[in-house]
A and B are shown apart, each in its own frame.
Chain A
Amino acid sequence: MRGIIVALVAGAAAVGAAPLALAHAFLDHASPAVGSSVPASPPVVTLWFTQDLEPAFSGVTVTNEAGQRVDLGNVQIPPGSPAELQIGLKPLPPGTYLVSWHVVSVDTHPTEGTFTFEVGRG
């Protein structure tokens, strides 16, 4: 019967509210947006995650189509935004770029992923 209550609660959640808490920091959104095409070279790539991160074990790199690093290597978690990761970029010519992130959430779980964005192909 407890199971029915749980199913009730779960069913209510499916119909109604927005459950929020998630462990394992996953990418929530990014700027430039995932898979998007931006008209001009962005100065930084910012990634927002679903959980707070451990700075000691989290990092991100950006590479171009030839596999060369195009980021400045200055990964940082902005003070006051523990779920955010930011890295500066060199000026980028038009093309497709790959962002590879590897983070550890404060709940000790590592996650990683990649996404691409395009510059200048308007």
Chain B
Amino acid sequence: MEGFLIAVRTLHFTAAITLTGVFAFEGLVAGPAFRQSGSAPANAAELHSRLDWLAWASLALALVSGAAWLVAVAAGMSGKPMSVALLQGAVPVVLIRTRFGEDWVLRFALAVLLGLCLLGQRRRAGGALRWMALFLAGGMLASLAWAGHGAATPGPPGDLHLTADILHLLAAGLWLGTLPSLILLLAEARRTGDADWAAVARAATRRYSVLAVASVTVLLAGGMVNTWFLTGTVPALVGTEYGRLLLAKISLFIAMLLVAAVNLLRLTPRLADSTSRTRNIVRRTVARLQSNARIETALGLGVLAIVGALGTLPPGLHSEPGWPFPFRLDIDALTAGSQILLAVLAVAICVCGVGIAASAAAGRYRRSAFFAAGLVLCLAGGWPPLRPAIERAYPTSFYAPAEPYAAASVVRGAAVYAENCALCHGATGRGDGPAAGRLPIRPADLTEPHLFAHTPGDLFWWVGHGMDEGVMPGFAGALNPNQRWDVINFIRARAAGVLALRIGSEITAAAVPEVPDFAFKTGGTQQTLKQVLETGPVLLVLFAPPVPVERLHQLAAAGLRVVAVGLGAPSDETSEGNRAPPFVVTVSSEATSALALFRAPEDRGETELLLDRFGKIRARWTSDMPGGLASADALIADAERIDRITAATPKRAGHSH
């Protein structure tokens, strides 16, 4: 079924793109070229009939592939095989009650109208009907975006994605779609070989160059926006099936660009050059232009086949990226100066790359060598600043944890740790377990801040495969992946708690520990910490009973967002009697265990943590600090400052399912 769906998608895209291209070519390139060169009307009519044939063939292909696509989608949505979906009436449901179906009906209507236009055009080539046909075909092509990823995403990002998608499709229609028509025109010029047709070819290729450059620019811009939305990170690009297919598509696109560059920079000027009007040169140039266009078309079909496949896959952001290289670049580990230098060099490398390709295509090989030398210089210059960023990496380095960083996982992880890890790493994680002395390499202190220099994926690899050639054994056999993620969440939470002890009342902008998510009940509604954090920074109050009622009232009067959790005693629902203290929430025992990691017993009753939107601890007060707990006004000011800091550095959303 997958192969069938990919095939019909590819055919339908091909048909829609070619259809748009035919009318665009006639209106924007061929028509004006004939008029400009003052060619005999018989020539225009000759080409028109061939383009007409191409239009009808594309329309027929669009209708057939469209119908097949509908049946394939109905099967996919209903989860049944295609024959069953057809007979059981899933198709009408899809047509009437889904967005894809509505889109399909619209496209079908456009196709019918297009057919009528084509019939009308038979009488006379040209005129308003051709522009109407272009408009209809463009509509058919653009509407394909509605079945895509951009349309399904809510909100302004979805609108941007959708717009980029539509522009990308239309640009493809104007570039890739016009290639078959160009081939037909050039074929006519070669076949007849007379001066009239040579003039037409000259004018047409000149106009075509302008059209191609404009469409490629739009195509590129739209493509970059789409890539950002659908993969957006290097691991997703090189580590997922989607990303790799996308890289293949981009490679084919680059190949097309190189061929097009030869056409644009070498052959079209040669054809236009008035001194080379000898028949042979003209004929040879036209022949080369035509064969190049054929190569581009073949590459373009490859691109469309990949597009057909891509649409059936989950985009890169939602697959586990398998990192293929033994190293990764941790750009954050570099100084700001190095980062800027590398960015400048990267831009310079791109410029040199484009320069090499363009000069070579134009035949200017010396200039090409000049750019090549520049490229080598940039690469050499970029190596020293890049070296400190190179880190060892593993295939799982960029996996998003399969278990969310939340209290339940942390508590499960604590149990796994006690059973499997404490022997060497110690009950408190400092590498001082009973078996540690016998090992040639000391077990790592898992409470050090260095833990956070590694991605969760790195830790997942080590827990699964061991370290230092077996000094630490691998636990892939003993623990299933979810258990391994649980223990990693626990280790990170514990290390976060230790790190938190170093945080004071001054707001830290540096890397800070994160509090695990937990669910709580307040006044009958259930929420999670993450949900509350979406609205802004929160003051998390961890107290040992009795409830610090006065302090909480003080905070309430100031209008802060506070969540107060009592640790060390079971939460008592009956205390929500007459004078229920504000902000105190009921949580599960797992949450109290996990949050206990963030409270030192010496805090004399209360620890208050000011969390930013991502749950990271930015400031911390305890009852036993000199100065005690902060005033409500100071807290409000701090909360605003934190909001501004974190708004400027949004985090990449890593989803786990």
Contacts and interface: CB of A to CB of B under 8 A. Distances in A.
A7 to B, nearest CB: 6
Nearest to B570: A122
Contacts of A2: 220, 250, 253-254, 257
Interface in B234-253: 234-237, 247, 250-251, 253
Contacts of A39: 521, 571, 573, 586-588
Contacts of A110: 76-77, 79
Contacts of A21: 149-150, 153, 157-158, 161, 229-230, 315
A94 B157 CA distance: 41
B100 interface: yes
B408 interface: yes
Interface string B303-324: 0000000001011011000000
B589 A36 contact: no
B194 to A, nearest CB: 40
A31 interface: yes
A113 B402 CA distance: 13
B579 interface: no
A23 interface: yes
A33 B530 CA distance: 10
B14 interface: no
A14 interface: yes
B474 interface: no
A4 B349 contact: yes
A120 B213 CA distance: 65
Contacts of B97: 54-56
A61 interface: no
Interface in A21-73: 21-29, 31-40, 42, 50-52, 54-57
Given A13-B232, A108-B76, A18 B650 contact: yes
A8 B350 contact: yes
B157 A109 contact: no
Given A1-B357, A122-B588, A38 B519 contact: yes
B147 A108 contact: yes
A23 B233 CA distance: 16
Contacts of B157: 20-21
Contacts of B528: 29, 31, 33, 36
Contacts of B73: 108
A122 B346 CA distance: 55
Most A C-beta atoms less than 10 A away, residue of B349, B406, B408, B518: B408
Contacts of A82: 154
Contact of B99 (A6, A11, A38, A106): A106
A51 B490 CA distance: 31
Given A28-B655, A51-B154, A23 B147 contact: no
Contact of A13 (B220, B590, B652): B652
Contact of A23 (B76, B315, B527, B649): B315
A20 B315 CA distance: 11
Contacts of B229: 19-21
B237 A35 contact: no
A51 B332 CA distance: 31
Contact of A18 (B148, B149, B653): B653
Contacts of B350: 1, 4-5, 8
A61 to B, nearest CB: 15
B519 A24 contact: no
Nearest to A27: B657
Given A7-B234, A10-B232, A22-B315, A107 B148 contact: yes
A36 B332 CA distance: 34
22 contacts: A1-B349, A1-B357, A6-B237, A6-B250, A7-B234, A7-B237, A10-B237, A15-B332, A21-B149, A21-B158, A22-B655, A23-B148, A28-B655, A32-B526, A35-B403, A36-B518, A36-B519, A104-B98, A108-B73, A108-B77, A109-B312, A122-B586
Nearest first, the 5 A-B pairs at minimum CB distance are A1-B353, A19-B232, A23-B149, A36-B519, A37-B588
Interface of A: 1-11, 13-29, 31-40, 42, 50-52, 54-57, 82-83, 104-110, 113, 118, 121-122
